[in-house]
A and B are shown apart, each in its own frame.
Chain A
Amino acid sequence: MSKLRVPVHEQLEARIDENAIQRVWLGVERHRAGRVFNRRAGATAALAFAALGVVVVVAVVVGLGFNGRNHGRTPAPQSLGPLALRTGAPLSALGGQAPESSDLSDGSQIALEAGSVLEVLENNSRTFVSVLRRGQASFEVQPGGPRRWTIEAGVASVEVVGTGFSVVRRGDDVEVSVRHGVVLVRSELIRDRVQRLTAGQSLLIPAPRPASAPEAGSAAAPAAAAPERAFEGQAPAPLPLQTLLEQADDQRRRGDVRGAEAALRRALAEHGSEPEAALTAFTLGKLLVDAGGRPAEGALAFERCLALSPPSALAEDALFRLADAEAKAGNLARAAETARTYGERYPNGRHTRQLQLQLWRGAP
């Protein structure tokens, strides 16, 4: 028998990659932003208490209800038959007014934001198909599982094998963001009708809008032009930009990140051609990165800001924030590219040194 050398860790190599580092950081940020997913802790505690309750009841009813010395563990993760909740309850629909996080029998996890609805369409040993009717759902699909997951979300469908990703439906628009792993997004509205997204990437698929906006005063046109919208309910009447921005400010101050985000997105959708649109997109980006812990989506907002020809001071800030968001989303190659652009455009820029430090910290 050979001797193990001490310290043993010199013969070991921790399994750490950039995705894990990003994942943990997002968890820390979410926790601090007050949107604690609580990962498995809450579910475990709930399960533990539920089990304790069951044990007590069984013991009372049967007397010494344990069948001898029961060393039995919980059943192995279900691999055959339909996917169920970890508690064994069948899985049909998820969602409600409050945020909801569900552990599934194969070890996967689905977390829904408040007001979201996810319905199961097909569920067997090989396939799991669900539809996100509205809201935002975050998925952690157990890698190597036997089922092919498909999430339908209006104009797009997302195919998964084992990964972590989010799907957001805002009205008819759909946004898919991948935390780790790979997903395929299929839609008639994207190039080649399919796109592969990897960790840190996201894709926004805006639903087709009516070809031309109705003239002011013509009230009859919208219902005929967009029958799908009638199904979803009446679209709200446009609000002045200033009102929406004040609303967003107010919600942000109260810590309602989702509400502020919705107000800013609405401002961009309804006033995208106004001069303040660039600043609105910039504010949205900041909100998503700083308070929302969603740098990939924040990067998209900064890109949009830059595409709207912002004033030069804002453009410099937006380019800096874009590099920062890309780095935080784990897309270091793009962050480097953006940083180089920044350096070329603003050789004595206000953020040069910070950007340098920012990129430096990505080094091991």
Chain B
Amino acid sequence: MLALAPSWNSELFATRLRPGVSRGLIQFGTPIEVSDADLARRINGGDRWAEEAFYRRHVPAVLGLAQRLLANLADAEDVAQDTFVTAFQIWDQLRDYERARSWLMQITVRKVHRRFRRRQLLRLLGLDRPIEDAPLDALAREDTSAETRSELAVLTGVLSAMPAKLRIAWMLRYVEGLPLDEVAGQCQCSRATVKRRIALARRRVSRYVNIEEAVDE
């Protein structure tokens, strides 16, 4: 016998709206928890449902990270697509199933790097038309003060003029709030290198924007 709610009442399929999302999302009274590790294991066994479930669970984080790093919505979607295509292609290389999310984010950062390199090449050829339709100030929450918004706008300007390596390292540290070791892991470089990159970037940022210092350095 299946472990199932006794009847398929309307509560079971109640829809609710999340702020900023126009479509009703379906939620069960008691969601069934499947861990990332379980999903990862099932994906390795060729379970398509698990792939979709994993995608559903993590695509907001991937898209969000790509939007903040790239400041462009279409580029962020491209990166998210490439990230999941690559992840599913090389799934057998994932050794620690518990760290599937962090591994996915590492792939995302790699794809963002690649996107920046492409932009650089196009700029070199005079073909770049940078459209920053998702600068940090445009991504600010509704209750953000005008002052903070203007700081975010300045920050976007400073970051967009910075080499990608510095920009990404600094953003992972200060925008995403990752610890140094994790930033190093995502950037696939040593802790010392990532500290140097962040310090260089911070010097530039602090000329224009007043930002809190991170505590654990």
What is A's interface to B at a CB cutoff of 8 Å?
Answer: 1-18, 20-21, 23-25, 27-28, 31-32, 39-41, 44, 47-48, 51-52, 55, 70, 72-74, 76-77, 327, 330, 332-333, 335-337, 339-340, 342-344, 347-348, 352-354, 356-364
- Nearest chain B CB to A201's CB is how many angstroms away? 13
| Docked CA distance A329–B12 (Å) | 21
- Nearest chain B CB to A291's CB is how many angstroms away? 11
Contact A11 B56 (CB under 8 A): no
The yes or no answer to B98 lying at the interface (CB within 8 A) is no
Q: Within 8 Å CB of A4, what residues of B?
A: 148, 151-152, 155, 209-212
Contact B125 A20 (CB under 8 A): no
- Nearest chain A CB to B171's CB is how many angstroms away? 8
| Docked CA distance A218–B43 (Å) | 58
Q: Within 8 Å CB of B163, what residues of A?
A: none
Contact A7:B176 (CB < 8 A) given known A340-B13, A362-B26? yes
| Docked CA distance A2–B146 (Å) | 11
Contact A72:B126 (CB < 8 A) given known A5-B212, A12-B136? yes
* CB contacts between A and B, total, < 8 Å: 208
Contact B148 A14 (CB under 8 A): no
Within B1-40, the residues touching A (CB, 8 Å) are 1-5, 7-8, 10, 12-13, 15, 18, 20-28, 31-32, 34
Binding stretch for chain A, among B99-107, B127-135, B190-198: B127-135
| Docked CA distance A364–B23 (Å) | 12
The yes or no answer to B122 lying at the interface (CB within 8 A) is yes
- Nearest chain A CB to B101's CB is how many angstroms away? 16
The yes or no answer to B67 lying at the interface (CB within 8 A) is yes
- Binary interface profile of B, 89-119, with partner A (CB < 8 Å = 1, else 0)? 0000000000000000000000000000010
Q: Within 8 Å CB of B213, what residues of A?
A: 6
Contact B32 A8 (CB under 8 A): no
| Docked CA distance A357–B32 (Å) | 7
- Nearest chain A CB to B143's CB is how many angstroms away? 9
Q: Within 8 Å CB of A354, what residues of B?
A: 49
Q: Within 8 Å CB of B151, what residues of A?
A: 1-2, 4
Contact B136 A28 (CB under 8 A): no
Contact B140 A340 (CB under 8 A): no
Q: Within 8 Å CB of B199, what residues of A?
A: none
| Docked CA distance A340–B212 (Å) | 51
Can you report 6 A-B residue pairs in the complex whose CB atoms are below 8 A from each other? A3-B211, A7-B176, A8-B177, A342-B8, A360-B27, A364-B27
Contact A344 B8 (CB under 8 A): yes
Contact A363 B77 (CB under 8 A): no
Contact A14 B2 (CB under 8 A): no
Contact B129 A336 (CB under 8 A): no
Contact B13 A359 (CB under 8 A): yes
Contact A74:B148 (CB < 8 A) given known A6-B214, A18-B21, A363-B26? no
Contact B177 A6 (CB under 8 A): yes
The chain B residue with its CB closest to the CB of A51 is B125
Contact B85 A361 (CB under 8 A): no
Q: Within 8 Å CB of B147, what residues of A?
A: 2
| Docked CA distance A52–B126 (Å) | 10
The 6 closest A-B pairs by CB, nearest first: A7-B177, A343-B8, A14-B64, A336-B13, A27-B81, A363-B27
The chain B residue with its CB closest to the CB of A27 is B81
Contact B212 A55 (CB under 8 A): no
Contact B73 A11 (CB under 8 A): no
The yes or no answer to B141 lying at the interface (CB within 8 A) is yes
Contact A20 B63 (CB under 8 A): yes
- Nearest chain B CB to A21's CB is how many angstroms away? 6
The chain B residue with its CB closest to the CB of A39 is B78
Q: Within 8 Å CB of B22, what residues of A?
A: 17-18
Interface residue from A12, A72, A347 paired with B68 (Cβ < 8 Å): A12
Contact A362 B56 (CB under 8 A): yes
Contact A55 B125 (CB under 8 A): yes
Q: Within 8 Å CB of B187, what residues of A?
A: none
| Docked CA distance A51–B23 (Å) | 43
Q: Within 8 Å CB of A27, what residues of B?
A: 77, 81, 85
Contact B127 A363 (CB under 8 A): no
- Nearest chain A CB to B84's CB is how many angstroms away? 5
Most A Cβ at <10 Å: residue of B4, B68, B177: B4
| Docked CA distance A294–B68 (Å) | 30
| Docked CA distance A358–B210 (Å) | 46
| Docked CA distance A231–B13 (Å) | 51
Q: Within 8 Å CB of A32, what residues of B?
A: 85, 88
Q: Within 8 Å CB of A24, what residues of B?
A: 59, 63, 77, 80-81, 84
Q: Within 8 Å CB of B49, what residues of A?
A: 354, 357-358
| Docked CA distance A10–B176 (Å) | 8
